[in-house]
Amino acid sequence: MNFEEIEDQDGIRFSFNAWPASRIEATRTVVPIAALYTPLKEREDLPLIYYEPVTCKQHTCGAILNPYCQIDPRGKLWICPFCLHRNQFPTHYRDISNTNLPAELLAKHTTIEYTLARSAQIPPIFLYVVDTCIDDDDLKALKDSLVVSLSLLPPQALVGLITYGTMTQVHELGYGECPKSYVFRGSKDYSCKQIQEMLGLTALANRPQQPVRPGQPAPPTGGSRFLLPVQQCEYNLSSILEQLQRDPWPVATDKRAQRCTGVAMSVAVGLLEATFQNTGGRIMLFVGGACSEGPGMVVGTDFKERLRSHHDIEKEDVKHYKKASKFYEGLAKRASTNGHAIDIFAGCLDQVGLLEMRSMVNSTAGTMVLSDSFTTSIFKQSFQKMFEKDAEGNLKMGFNATLAVQTTKELKICGLIGHAVSADKKTASVGETEIGIGNTSAWKMCAVSPKTTNGIYFEVVNQQGQTLQPGSRGLIQFVTHYQHSSGHFKLRVTTVARSWAEGNSPIIAQSFDQETAAVLMARIAVFKAEIDDGPDVLRWLDRMLIRLCQKFGDYRKDEPQSFRLNDNFSIYPQFMFHLRRSQFLQVFNSSPDETAYNRHILNREDVNNSLIMIQPTLMSYGFDGEPQPVLLDSVSIKPDTVLLLDTFFYILIFHGETIAAWRKAGYQDQEGYENFKELLEAPVVNSQELLVERFPIPRYIVCDQGGSQQRFLLAKLNPSTTHASGGQYGNAPQGQAIFTDDVSLQVFMEHLKKLAVAGTS
Amino acid sequence: MSNYPPQQQQPRPYYQGQGQPPPPQHPGQQSPYGVPVNPQQQQYQQQPLKPPGGPYGNVRPGGPQPGHQAIRPGPGQLAPGVRPMPPGAGGPPARPTNGTPPHQQQQQQQQQHSYTGGRPVGPPGARPPTGVRPSIQQGRTDVPLQAGMATISPHHPNPAHAQTPTPITTPATQPQSPPRPQLPSFPHNAAPAPGQQQSYQQQQHPAYAQQQHQQQQQQQQQPTPPLANQQVAGGINGLNAQMSAMSVGANNAVNTPGYSQVPSQGPPMQSEAAKPKAGARAKRVFASDPSAPPPSSGMAPPPPAIPQPGMETQNYGQQSNQGPALQQAGYAQHQQPDASYQQQQQQPPYMAQQQQQHQHQQPHLVHQQQPHLAHQQPHLAQQQQYGQQPMNQSQQFRPQAPAQPAPRPRIDPDQIPSPVAVQEADQEEWDHKPFVTSLRTSPTPLASSDFMAIDGGNCNPRFFRMTTYNLPNTEDLLNTSQLPMGLVIQPLAQLRVDEAPIETVDFGDAGPARCRRCNAYINPYMIFTNGGQRFVCNMCLFENDVEPGYFCNLDMNGRRCDLDQRPELRNGTIEFAVPKEYWNKTPAAAAYVFAIDVSWNSVQSGMLHRCVTGIKEAIWDHNGVSKLAPGAQIGFLTYDKNVHFYNLSPTLEQAQMMVVPDVSDVFVPLSDGFLVDPQTSQSLVESMLDMLPQLFAENKTTEAVIGAVVQSVRMALESRGGKLVVFQTALPTFGPGALRHRDELKLYGTEKEKTLYAPQDDFYKKLAESCVDAGLSIDLFLFPNAYVDVATLGCLSSITGGETHMFTNFNADRDGVKLAGEINRLVTRPFGFNALMRVRCSTGLRVAEHFGNFHMKNSTDLEIAGLDSEKAYGVLVKHDGKLDEKTEASFQVALLYTTADGRRRVRVHNFSTPVTTLLGNVFRWADMDTTINFLSKGAIAQALSKPLNEVREALTDKCVKILSSYRRNCASSTAPGQLILPESFKLFPLYTLSLLKSKTLRGGRDINSDLRVYQMRMLKSMGVSESIVFFYPRMIAVHSMDERVGVMDANGRVFLPQLVRVSYARLSPSGAYMLENGQRLFLWLGREIHPQFLQDVFGVQTLDELDSSLRFLPELDTQTSSQLRMIRTYMQAQRARYMDLTIVRQGKDQAELDFSNLLVEDKNNEAMSYVDYLPTIHRMIQTEVTTRPHEVHTGIWSHR
């Protein structure tokens, strides 16, 4: 079973699929034992079970019955593999036998989903927070998108609307007589309590749920004024949306509009907090510019004040950054505590302060979509894609999820890198080392999609000498509890087992999944980069790479030429090379917002997508054969080919010089040149295929060699040919010369070999 | 000035010239007095002949005031005249004469004669004879009648008539109907005076006792021989027109005589005192108040009565002194027969009655007077001039009194000064001619009159009134007079339709020409010199260069050739369009923001419903056309615990409500759409308003955060200013500016009571001040069911120049109409905002203090966020040095403001008025209406630092001080027992009493602090004409209206039925009366009202069928109905506030209590009745005068 198959079945990929048996050996493997797990991985044949799971009764364990459990059909017992507690099967399992096993005990059902009897009282909540300080065109497009989205929501889903500009307005949708909204000052930091009081929610929030007498409509809760089922308020809401006007406050020509994103979010969080605590919901922020007023202010209103750059942040020459970040972190914490996800849809050419706001999205496992304008298809389609439905018409999203991980005792959890917050659950499985969000064995994700992928890191705690029985396996159980958009609570359980192996065993090297490892390392690097200086991270990454090469390379000491890597390690250095150059770790040429956005996406995607981000794919289309992947190298640029670059964030079609000239001349439209036409169309068709699955929708760029847009391509290519690498004797360099001082992959590899074999490092 | 001097001068000459002749007439005694006396008399005589008053007479034909005074020698003369007299030979001699009874008598006689005008002359001869007496009596009676006639109803007119014809006419009139009842008060003085005088004379001649007896006899006789009076008059004329003075003197004399008679009892003293006084007066009159005399002359007949005008004597206490027999009220006061005689004599016709009355009254009087007796006794039974009136009245009344078995009024209420008579007389005068502001000869129309003014260089009295139009030249003189020297300015007052509109002058970017030193604006009183190259500022006398662009040659008279094209050089009131440097913010049309409380109370009481209806009606007329100034915008918000704004942008389909829950730090949630054009957003606004009651029907919130509302609106209007109208139901206990309930019954009447009248904290004060900066004025409508702390909340309107309206326990059915009416008034009347007002006065004067509702940051400029046509401001002026009596004193009121339609203007009111060295002039030209208004403003200011009862006492004290100053300095020759009132101030005691009875100052636990403060603030900004009717309500009988009544003429004037004095005693059970005080309008229906009236007006047959909750008059097609409705409309048009109609059925409706509380002449409101108060005042004056008699001769006289 290869990695992909496992991934298809369990949604999980490990860096190592066989684990060193002792702690020391485990550390020597350099790349930690870790997994990229996609809890809601879509699977056609996912076994759906409509009864409650059987859990281990050991009070600190609570593991769920799985195929790796030993069972005693006669004694109607099962042994929890994690705590070794012997559990009695519940009475309705009395007919159990080796031939008559419940689904969860079937070996193929290592991943199983229980649909729990308990269902959510409250349908999912969607609270739109809409920026009105935007151009009329933008606003119109945004309004249209929002109105359309109402039809995409489940009819019973609750919706609410907050608009903001200079001030924040909470629209009371339950008010029939006229459009009514509560307005909050944009420049003031409202406490949660204040917001609740002002919205008249205090009493309701404090009042314990009163038993509802049958036959009587539920007493109007605070929420019923601001958050109503779509089917009930669609008319009101769409008319409000249609009448939505651009923020009317005058803006001087040398000023930015006053935009109180911070307050709007604070109000939104407060509103949900007061009305629907711990209920699945999303706050969707549509922001058209940087917050310029009140708490969470990213930049002043004066145009003289520029938005902060990486450089400014590095020099700590930023007035608002820390304050704003702290403010949004506070909101993020509250929202995540209450189980509400925050999404940010940015439609602005300039930065909108994603950097500061990122914690809101990252902590709550929301989504981020960065587009230039709300009129772009990037926004429109991405937004619609949010509401994709499955076969049964339910939204492909889960709410208010908790991911709990259980390990056998040799293995401990270091942490999680991805979009989640710690659920602060300390069990025996929690290890000492901390990677990412640690010190817990459970995490909360306010929203999960089938794409959501988290990196979970483990450490081996088995001391050397405590030999394990040969053939023994380590077990990890992932239990994801979430609220399905249909209102049911579901529990997805994935239990994986991997063999222990002796430290020097080649099995370990063979079990290495270099792709997964690269992504996992990238996540660590990015995580570190958020905290540490860029260069430190790069050095760390280099060091780790060298050590890995030293550990698993095949070489003779001090002889770089002798260095060889196994196949399953061979492209890992290349990943690292591109990772080092990627926008995730290099901030040059990226705005802080873009960096935050890119990192956000990286932390969410699965292995394949992540790899595309790290090392984009390049396809070459030519007359002489099928399209073929080519090296992400400047040498791949040829005048008579069309290249298709996929960086995940954008898809770029690049016409070589000749092709471009032909195209310009319009040959593709002439008879007799159908083949040329096909050549031109082929990459377009392929790119469309890529677009379908992609979220957010990537940017689509078509460019010609020599055009300004080619920079997007050149930035990604390995600069094997640069302006400096021209032949000494006037040889024209092969391919396109890239103006960069960066080292090329070749140089990088040579250095790597040199260092790897150097013996000491 | 021109006028004045002439008057003064003229009189003198007259006197001299004339006087000389008269002296001869008068025997030796006269000589001393004679001269002066005669002159007066002569004058009178002459005047009569040639409306000597010429200017005066013409000017104030009817006016009893200055002119009148002159005319009515009595009042005006008395005062002024009297004074002069003393200085003249009269004074000194008189006394001496007094010393000798005979002399006194003679003197008195002389005086009397002189006063009586020619009459005396005649009389002198007559005097001795008994025949004369009768004549006198008749004369008296007549006179009184005349006087009454003249004074009362036609005071003004009468004077005119009276003046010349008085002597004669009087008799005529008198005979007709012992007019007393009608006019007794004024004329009485005059009349009685003569009569008295005569009697005196007669009496005098004999012996005191004799005199007394004679008087009595005379009285008795007199009645019959009214003719005698006439004759007497003639004789008097001969004697001296001085009669006026005489009258005065006469009165005095009369009194004196009475006294003298009395004196007979307590002989010399009294007689002496009395006589000398009389003499003194007479003399003084002549000497000091030349003008006075003329009037007297004119008034000659009235003079006796006149004394009233000038001074009114009442014989209250003296009688007691003399003897219990004398009626205090009566001149002679029953004490001694003499007095009584006198009275009787005067009252001839009624003699019997009078006597009876006297007798009846005596007891009362005695009581009252008894205390006085002590004082008075020595002085004889001299009675106050009131006495004269009272006497007359008493005499007259007495007859009535019997009719009305009300032994109560010791004084006949008909004989005491009657505002009704005064006002009607003045009104009649101005009905037929315009008031030309520049003529110094005629008195300013009374504030109660509906007149047409022509701007002749001084501004219209609607804009600017002074407490006296002859400024004392020194502070000493002012202090002596005890009068306040103040202005009451109503800068945006509405002109009558037939008055010329105010012209606007645009000087372009240079701005209006101003004095370089004091910044006064160019005005008609600036003098161009150097061929037009320079102009001298009338304020600071600085010589300015004329800007080349403004240069114009002067003509031969030194006037600019372009005078005709320069309204600013012609008109007393002008507006300048001003350039940018006068802007504090870009002028924009006013914004009207309505903030409506929608809390539980508001919805439940129906206020909300009425309010939105009212607002709709106020903004749009029936055709949906906006009634607001062009460009004005409207905005709305509602509030309870939250503030709700409404986006009314015409681009929307429906109004959007925006709730601001953050009241502790409120803000404006929208920029566009909050203020909208009433025209383009009409449908949106109307549907929004219609929706409100329904929207909040279920509202359970009881708090209402007015503080936040004001804050937010201030922000919204910061850049333009405007008006905020707040409808609040309860004490704000939530949000910013939350207040605590601090009103405790136990504090009332204690030292701490005043704290309730001050704000409990600074919040609203500061807020209001910030609103002033924003040019936002706030009108509060309060609908309390309990304490709302008007003292604190009301700061919002009082500081910003707005007003407060109170609807306690609002009942939609009852108060809805008024609410709607008030909203309408408020929105549609002329409005200016963002204003800065400054009052400048010429060198030698300074502005010391301002009263009213405004804010001041420095000591000179009033910052007024907004003001409308009804707002008035009081200004206290003080001396900065000695004024030159040869030049006039000038005032300039400059109001920089933005008009409601958004134009920046400076409105300038100029006023220039003469300076005098004579106290008499100060009094003669004093304006009681303005003074009362001014004093009330001052009293309110005091109420914040003193307990109310002290304030009340201070007011009475002020009244006494002023009157006794007059008494002491202008009428010192009269017997101390007489109540002598300046003509211009004869109603002063009544208005003082009314002021004490107003809810503002009256005692009583039913006035809670809210109501009190509300009233105070209202009064603070009340204009003069408004306040006059507020203090003394206007009541008319509507049950028998003739056809003239209730029809609007071409000038928009509607003739009203005759006024009725506000006393329950005046109400006939079969009558219907309409009463208004500027706040409320009552229609009182007697229990025996004729069914036809009900049928005509209400369409019902009996009172029981009538729904007394009716708030309007049904539109029936009957004459009575249309008359009534027209009267109601007309009355309303004159008032600042909307007066909703309350129908009161006698003895049936509870509202009758409110109604009767407005009958200020009755005993109510924890204060005494007018007839009781007057004697009290008199007593106090006596005390004042007698305790410090020597002050009499200080002051004024020394100046001469």
DSSP string of A714-752, one letter each residue: HTTSB-SSBTT-S-TT-PPPSS--B---SPPHHHHHHHH
CA distance A355 to A325: 8
Average pLDDT on B731-753 reads 84
User: Best of A181, A237, A242 to disrupt the B interface by mutation (most B CBs within 10 Å)?
Assistant: A181
What is residue A691's three-state secondary structure? helix
Token pair listed for B14: 């007259």
pLDDT over 60 at A93, yes or no: yes
pLDDT at A726: 54
- Identify which of B335, B397, B414 has the alpha carbon closest to the alpha carbon of residue B370: B335
Helices (H), A588-654: 592-602, 607-614
Confidence label for A732 from pLDDT (cuts 50, 70 and 90): low
Tokens 């014989």, located at residue: B315
Average pLDDT on A543-553 reads 90
- Identify which of B811, B785, B809 has the alpha carbon closest to the alpha carbon of residue B606: B811
Question: Is the separation of the CB atoms in B716 and B776 below 8 Å?
Answer: no
CA distance A703 to A182: 49
| DSSP at B1117 | S
Total H helices, total E strands in chain B = 48, 31
Tell whether B659 is within 8 A of chain A (Cβ). yes
Question: Is the separation of the CB atoms in B143 and B195 below 8 Å?
Answer: yes
Helix, strand, coil percentages, rounded to 5, for chain A: 35, 25, 45
User: For B65-119, how does the pLDDT look when each residue is reduced to its tens digit (9 = 90+)?
Assistant: 333 333 333 333 333 333 333 333 333 333 333 333 334 444 444 433 333 333 3
pLDDT at A440: 93
Question: Is the separation of the CB atoms in B728 and B598 below 8 Å?
Answer: no
pLDDT at B456: 87
Token pair listed for B1095: 């049928």
Confidence label for B232 from pLDDT (cuts 50, 70 and 90): very low
Residues from A contacting B (CB-CB < 8 Å) are 167, 169, 172, 175, 177-185, 188, 190, 194, 197-200, 239, 243, 245, 248-250
User: For A334-384, how does the pLDDT look when each residue is reduced to its tens digit (9 = 90+)?
Assistant: 999 999 999 999 999 989 999 999 999 999 999 999 999 999 999 999 999
User: For B786-821, how does the pLDDT look when each residue is reduced to its tens digit (9 = 90+)?
Assistant: 888 898 999 999 999 998 999 988 988 888 888 999
Residue type, B500: A
CA distance A289 to A308: 14
Tokens 């804009």, located at residue: B463
Rounded to 10 deg, the angle between the B607-619 and B682-695 helix axes is 170
User: For B481-513, how does the pLDDT look when each residue is reduced to its tens digit (9 = 90+)?
Assistant: 888 999 999 999 989 888 889 999 998 888 899
Percentage of chain B lying above the pLDDT 70 cut: 64
CA distance A736 to A43: 43
Question: Is the separation of the CB atoms in B417 and B297 below 8 Å?
Answer: no
Confidence label for A444 from pLDDT (cuts 50, 70 and 90): very high
Residue type, B627: K
CA distance A249 to A259: 10
Distance from CA of B820 to the nearest CA of A (A): 26
Token pair listed for A483: 């609220």
User: For A617-673, how does the pLDDT look when each residue is reduced to its tens digit (9 = 90+)?
Assistant: 999 998 888 889 998 888 888 888 999 999 999 999 999 999 999 999 988 888 888
Q: Check B661 against A199: CB less than 8 A apart.
A: yes
**Sign of the alpha-carbon dihedral angle for A382, A386, A389, A390:** positive
Confidence label for B746 from pLDDT (cuts 50, 70 and 90): confident
pLDDT at A1: 58
pLDDT at A202: 62
Across B817-850, b (16+ Cβ under 10 Å) vs e yields bbbbbbbbbbbbeebbbbbbbbbbbbbbbebeeb
Residue of chain B whose Cα is closest to the Cα of A180: B657
Question: Is the separation of the CB atoms in A149 and A379 below 8 Å?
Answer: no
Tokens 């991985």, located at residue: A41
B656 contacts on A by Cβ (under 8 Å): 178-181, 243
Tell whether B643 is within 8 A of chain A (Cβ). no
| DSSP at B884 | P
pLDDT at B82: 34
pLDDT at A729: 54
Which member of B653, B660, B670 has the closest CB to residue A243?
A: B653
pLDDT over 70 at B11, yes or no: no
pLDDT at B624: 87
Q: Check A167 against B669: CB less than 8 A apart.
A: yes
What is residue B73's three-state secondary structure? helix
pLDDT over 80 at B257, yes or no: no
Question: Is the separation of the CB atoms in B778 and B768 below 8 Å?
Answer: yes
More confident: A377 or B357: A377
Contacts of B222 (CB under 8 A, 6+ apart): B133, B134, B135, B136, B137, B138, B139, B140, B141, B195, B198, B199, B228, B229, B344, B345, B346, B347, B348, B351
Token pair listed for B919: 């106290």
CA distance B311 to A429: 112
Percentage of chain A lying above the pLDDT 90 cut: 43
What is residue A15's three-state secondary structure? coil
**Sign of the alpha-carbon dihedral angle for B1057, B1061, B1066, B1069:** positive
> Which helix (H) or strand (E) is B360 found in, with range?
helix B351-379
CA distances from B842 to B476, B490, B856, B879, B909 (A): 19, 20, 22, 10, 14
CA distance B226 to B242: 20
pLDDT at B965: 87
Contacts of B846 (CB under 8 A, 6+ apart): B877, B878, B879, B880
- Identify which of A510, A538, A508, A509 has the alpha carbon closest to the alpha carbon of residue A524: A538
CA distance B971 to B459: 33
**Sign of the alpha-carbon dihedral angle for A742, A746, A748, A751:** negative
CA distance B525 to B540: 12
User: Best of B647, B652, B662, B688 to disrupt the A interface by mutation (most A CBs within 10 Å)?
Assistant: B662
CA distance B144 to B179: 7
| DSSP at B257 | I
Helix, strand, coil percentages, rounded to 5, for chain B: 50, 15, 40
A675-684, B614-623, B765-774, B1052-1061, range with the lowest pLDDT: B1052-1061
A248 contacts on B by Cβ (under 8 Å): 670-673
Residue of chain B whose Cα is closest to the Cα of A168: B669
Confidence label for B238 from pLDDT (cuts 50, 70 and 90): very low
Residue type, A276: F
Across B1023-1052, b (16+ Cβ under 10 Å) vs e yields bbbbbbbbbbbbbbbbbebeeebbbeeeee
pLDDT at A720: 81
Tell whether B739 is within 8 A of chain A (Cβ). no
Residue type, B63: G
Average pLDDT on B749-764 reads 85
A167 contacts on B by Cβ (under 8 Å): 667, 669
pLDDT over 60 at A181, yes or no: yes
Across B980-993, b (16+ Cβ under 10 Å) vs e yields bbbbbbbbbbbbbb
CA distance B58 to B66: 12
A182 contacts on B by Cβ (under 8 Å): 642, 658-661
A185 contacts on B by Cβ (under 8 Å): 662, 665, 667
Question: Is the separation of the CB atoms in B193 and B247 below 8 Å?
Answer: yes
| DSSP at A602 | H
Whether residue A696 is preceded by a cis peptide bond, meaning omega within 30 degrees of 0, is yes
pLDDT at A290: 92
CA distance B471 to B913: 7
What is the 3-state secondary structure of B629-671? Answer: CCCCEEEEEEECCCEEEEECCCCCCCCEEEEECCHHHCCCCCC
Question: Is the separation of the CB atoms in B891 and B842 below 8 Å?
Answer: yes
User: For B705-719, how does the pLDDT look when each residue is reduced to its tens digit (9 = 90+)?
Assistant: 899 999 999 988 988
User: Best of B640, B656, B686 to disrupt the A interface by mutation (most A CBs within 10 Å)?
Assistant: B656
Across chain B, mean pLDDT equals 70
Helices (H), B748-845: 763-774, 790-793, 795-800, 812-828
More confident: B977 or A120: A120
The ipTM of this complex is: 0.84
